[in-house]
Structure 1
Amino acid sequence: MRQADVAIVGAGLAGSLAATMLGRAGYSVVLVDPFDRARPDFRCEKIERPHADSLRKAGVLDEILPAARRYENIWVARLGRLAEIKPIVEHGIAYGDLVNAIRDLVPSGVTFLRDKVTGIELTGERQTLALAGSESLSARLIIGATGLGAGLLERIGMHRREISKHHSLSIAFDAEAANLPFDSLTYFGEDPAHRISYITLFPLPSGLRVNLFSYHDRADPWLRAFREDPMAAISRALPNLERLTGHLSVRGGVKIRPVDLIATENFARPGIVLVGDAFSTACPVSGTGASKALLDVERLCNIYAPAWLASPGMGTDKITTFYRDPAKRRSDAHSLKSSLLSKRFALGQALLWRALRWGCYAGSVMRNVATHGHLPHRPAEYPVLGEPPMHQSA
């Protein structure tokens, strides 16, 4: 039986970062995943400020950024109008490339097993994992970074509770456009009837990327129309988008991912701790999924796991200190609240929700005035013929 201080199940974003941090700290770590390299997947495709903060505290940010595409001056459009130009810096990177960049940082002393965990036995001292390859693994602590995989958790008495089934849809594709006047654009839905939260355009190292987040049902006729002609469907739902982007064309295939809001219950168990989506999921509309997972790992590996491993035992009393961490609790609560509220905000037809959307637009405009000293407007070198200036049409 192979022995280790820590066994990490799942080598996605959270699992790979945990292996890097604990391996660098000198612990005996085994990382288990069915795949040698992360496969392409439609998940987090940006390093935003909260992500960068956690990656910096984890000690890996500067090593990851060379694999990403830096951009700044993000345009924000609300109610079909340019509302704000944010002078902030972000980095575009495909999810698989981000995970593989972190995997490349995992120290050589960490053992990687290309395998699948088929069973777990938990005690207050050491945990035993059965692997599909007939090998067994004994560790003091298991970090569950299994993402959306629920089967393994259910076998040890945990339960995945649906908070909001079919909550949203995430759509991604590569695009081509000529002479865009911005590095990145976030364009919010124009009308609640179209059920679109927002569309965002930003650069990856491979080119222009488009993410669209909506609240369409999977059987909605709009989604069928989108599969047949993506840009025609987007133009019908966001008729003023082209005033900012000009003509867009789809390059390559389209990825559509349905999202359910799920939380794990009965998670307090000896010897195992859950991070990221294994603990609870977030709606991508809220932009909190990756930041929540990264904060989980940073807090766990910088504070809690080292303290647990420094003394005998791995009982529930130790494990639950992580779940009570104030920063984690704030992160989880903010993620859930944002995921639920964003849907009501985008779809609400009542006067209150319309007023709130106008209030957000006004707030964005005022921030632009405070930052730049003027109303938001398109640079003169990027005119749109036949259209009034965006700030005048507001």
Structure 2
Amino acid sequence: MTADITVTEPIAAAGTATIVAEIAIVGGGLAGSLAAAVLARAGHHVVLVDKRAVHPDEFRVEKIGGPQLQMFRRLGFIDALANAACRYDRVLNVREGKVVDVSVSQAYGLPYADLVAMARSQLPDPSSLIVDDVTAIGCSDDIQHLELASGRRIDARLVVLATGMAGALGYKLGIKRRVLAERHSVSFGFTIARTDGTPFDFEALTCYGERTADGVDYLSLFPVRAGMRANLFMFRDPTDPVMRDLRRDTEATLQRLLPGLQPFLGDFRVTDRVQNWVMDLSIVEGHLQPGIVIIGDAFQTNCPAAGTGVARLLVDVERLCTEYAPRWLMTEGMSQEKIAEFYSDPDKIAADQQSLKMARFRQALTSRDDISWNVRRRLHFLRRRITHRVDQMRPGWLAQVRSALRA
């Protein structure tokens, strides 16, 4: 029997023992908050459950550009994103003290917590956010039952699990996480400023590693409201002493690892705490179950250096919330066969596979020291330099070629 969603009780009523909704989303990070906003704005009765009313500040600071902006625009969030972030349009790409090329395209930089706040602000009814902790989920072909730490209960036709890398709930359901590459990458994040207080001579800059032994993929510098954000991505043993050096003496260690950075950066200082994160590549198993679907990092983690995390997440949200969930709700039941349609979606599969492919490519391009990868690395940057020089001599040529290839 399917619940009658037209007789649901108000979500905001604190004394309500059981809340009835069409869709319950567990996890109010970016994936869950975006999914809730998309579905609620389409008229679905959605509850979003998270332990915190305001997402806390954390390590991640995102830069959003390229195809990601197109997806934010299609989902209807582009204006809210622009209002919350710092825009920049040119990225100077350098290696070994020389300009590789210049990327010219619209992009935005903002902390992950601000990105989540932006997504939550798009909820038509703020009371659809329930600040509580889901302690158990019971799934079936019909109605899903969620138990909350407060003693309340949620009954919903569909549960969307968007809990990131927190796996306790999934584990209770028999969903396991399989590690594909342990300690795959290390990321550092901090904010910098010039010691003399003057602005940098660039809007944004990417400096690529110079020696395979250093394990440095690249340093990305881009503006956020707090200043110039620095994200450093490495493929190196997290226990290596250089990790300690980067935390304790960041300026000197960066100059040692990236000597070609000095002419572009000048004298600088770190203005906040240096944080770092070690990332495993992993994917879930046992996830095909009736009544529950898993999205974002809860399904598959990403290599931060590959820059595919937000793109993958947006594909999950767009395909689930604009295609599958609305169609599933039009008929009775929430069978395993319905849920399987999402996991078999070609766009989702392609995004997941591309994310893993780029993770392995970035690691090999950074660290592999055999002849074939040495040649490939040289050709990679040489091709970019030549293309940039030709585009300087014939402005607009590169854009015309790219447009023709897309046609």
TM-score (norm 2): 0.90
- The 3-state SS of whatever aligns with 1:164 is strand
Structure 2 gaps, min length 5: 1-17, 396-407
Partner of 1:388: none
CA distance in 1, matches of 2:79, 2:383: 33
Q: Which amino acid aligns with 1:307?
A: R
CA distance in 2, matches of 1:65, 1:109: 21
Q: Which amino acid aligns with 1:124?
A: D
CA RMSD in angstroms, aligned pairs only: 1.4
CA distance in 1, matches of 2:238, 2:386: 38
Residue 79 of structure 1 deviates from its aligned partner by 4.1
Q: 1:171 aligns with which of 177, 185, 188?
A: 188
Q: Which amino acid aligns with 2:51?
A: P
CA distance in 2, matches of 1:174, 1:113: 33
- The 3-state SS of whatever aligns with 2:379 is helix
Provide, for residues 15-72 of structure 1, a one-character-per-residue CA deviation record: whole Å limited to 9, x for no partner.
0001101111111111100000111122251111122122112111122211111101
Instruction: Indicate the percent of aligned positions where both proteins have the same amino acid.
Output: 37
Residue 9 of structure 1 deviates from its aligned partner by 0.3
Residue 374 of structure 1 deviates from its aligned partner by 7.2
Residue 216 of structure 1 deviates from its aligned partner by 2.4
1:147 aligns with 2:167: no
- The 3-state SS of whatever aligns with 2:164 is coil
1:231 aligns with 2:251: yes
CA distance in 2, matches of 1:189, 1:109: 45
Contact 1:20 1:103 in 2 (8 A): yes
Contact 1:79 1:361 in 2 (8 A): no
1:54 aligns with 2:68: no
Q: 2:106 aligns with which of 89, 93, 113?
A: 89
CA distance in 2, matches of 1:273, 1:32: 15
Matches within 5 A, 1:1-394: 1-108=18-125, 111-177=128-194, 178-373=198-393
When structure 1 is superposed on structure 2, of 362-371 and 258-267 the one drifting more is 362-371
Distance 1:367 1:109, change over 3 A: same
Residue 109 of structure 1 deviates from its aligned partner by 6.7
- The 3-state SS of whatever aligns with 1:310 is coil
Contact 2:61 2:109 in 1 (8 A): no
CA distance in 2, matches of 1:284, 1:310: 38
Residue 352 of structure 1 deviates from its aligned partner by 1.2
TM-score (norm 1): 0.93
Q: Which amino acid aligns with 2:380?
A: C
Residue 180 of structure 1 deviates from its aligned partner by 2.1
- The 3-state SS of whatever aligns with 1:240 is helix
Provide, for residues 178-235 of structure 1, a one-character-per-residue CA deviation record: whole Å limited to 9, x for no partner.
4422111111101011111100111002211100011222210111112220111111
Contact 2:60 2:189 in 1 (8 A): no
CA distance in 2, matches of 1:79, 1:335: 28
Contact 1:216 1:223 in 2 (8 A): no
Q: Which amino acid aligns with 1:242?
A: Q
Structure 1 gaps, min length 5: 376-394
When structure 1 is superposed on structure 2, of 205-214 and 4-13 the one drifting more is 205-214
Q: Which amino acid aligns with 1:180?
A: F
Q: Which amino acid aligns with 2:264?
A: L
CA distance in 2, matches of 1:73, 1:25: 36
Partner of 1:382: none
